[in-house]
């Protein structure tokens, strides 16, 4: 079923330009009847300009006239005149214009450095590359590794910010919560709160004093030799 554009603005227009009941307008605009009554009393939707659903092709004059005659009748939104094709989900790698293909290695390098949690399949979806190219850039074996510069793929126009955020969030969910518990680097509390050992200076081992002993015979022999030298 086609959705109504600008339901509140449409309700403002229907209140001001038709004789429809509050219940009919509420049912068509997916609002509560009390909210429609507040719009009619000027208590709600102040400053909102009414939108004519007839001009936008969502309602016909005949449908409005039919509903005004029968309060039990419920307005039906007019079918769109132009049918848009259904948007199908894209499968496989993204197509990259020829003018942007030279920027893909720089974008891959940026993704590898800034979002290492992304798998190769996610990078392939974002920039439209191949697994060998990603592996070569990761291992620095790419033929142009020396001149590569990390560049944001969104800035390069290779993908949208929405696609990048979606892939990053998906990778984060697959990886699971990160353990942020810090490693224990401090000493246990029983060691840091225990009373320090008391220092007893009397328990210190004192170095034994060396007792010097003198040999009397050697002393007299030295004196005798000195006396002999003086006599000579």
The C-alpha atoms of residue 218 and residue 164 are separated, in whole angstroms, by 100
Q: Which of 175, 208, 224 is where one domain is finished?
A: 175
**161-189 residue pLDDT tens:** 888 888 888 888 887 655 545 555 556 65
Considering only CA atoms, which of 227, 209, 230, 211 is closest in space to residue 219?
227
For residue 8, the number of C-alpha atoms closer than 13 Å in the C-beta half-sphere is 9
What is residue 203's DSSP assignment? G
| 54 and 14 in a common domain | yes
Question: By residue range, what is the domain housing residue 21?
Answer: 7-69
How many CB atoms within 10 Å of residue 128?
19
Q: Which two tokens stand for residue 106?
A: 């720089």
Closest CA to 129 of 157, 101, 168: 101
- Number of structural domains, the chain? 2
**pTM (predicted TM-score):** 0.39
Q: Are 106 and 171 within one domain?
A: yes
Quick check: is 135 in a domain? Answer: yes
pLDDT at 146: 87
Average pLDDT value over all residues in the chain: 77
- CA dist 5 and 9 (Å) reads 9
| Residue 154: band (very low, low, confident or very high) from pLDDT cuts 50, 70, 90 | confident
Instruction: Give yes or no for a contact between 153 and 127, defined as CB atoms under 8 angstroms apart.
Output: yes
The answer to whether 23 touches 72, Cβ cutoff 8 Å, is: no
Q: How far apart are the first and last CA of the chain?
A: 142
Is the residue at 138 inside a domain?
yes
């Amino acid at each position: 079923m086609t959705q109504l554009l600008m339901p509140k603005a449409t309700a403002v227009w229907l209140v001001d330009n038709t004789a429809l009941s509050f219940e009919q307008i509420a049912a068509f605009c997916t609002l509560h009847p009390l909210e429609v009554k507040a719009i009619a009393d000027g208590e709600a939707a102040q400053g909102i300009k009414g939108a004519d659903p007839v001009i936008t092709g969502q309602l016909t004059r005949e449908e409005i006239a039919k509903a005004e005659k029968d309060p039990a009748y419920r307005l039906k939104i007019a079918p769109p005149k132009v049918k848009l094709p259904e948007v199908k989900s894209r499968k496989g790698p993204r197509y990259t214009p020829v003018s942007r293909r030279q920027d893909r290695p720089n974008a891959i390098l940026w993704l590898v450095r800034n979002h290492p949690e992304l798998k190769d399949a996610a990078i392939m979806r974002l920039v439209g590359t191949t697994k060998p190219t990603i592996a070569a850039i990761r291992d620095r074996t790419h033929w142009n590794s020396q001149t590569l510069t990390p560049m944001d793929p969104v800035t390069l126009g290779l993908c949208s910010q929405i696609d990048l955020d979606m892939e990053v969030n998906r990778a984060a969910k697959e990886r699971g919560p990160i353990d942020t518990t810090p490693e224990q680097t401090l000493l246990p509390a029983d060691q840091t709160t225990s009373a320090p050992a008391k220092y007893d200076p009397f328990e210190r081992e004192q170095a034994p004093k060396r007792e010097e002993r003198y040999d009397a015979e050697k002393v007299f022999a030295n004196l005798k030799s000195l006396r002999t030298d003086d006599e000579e």
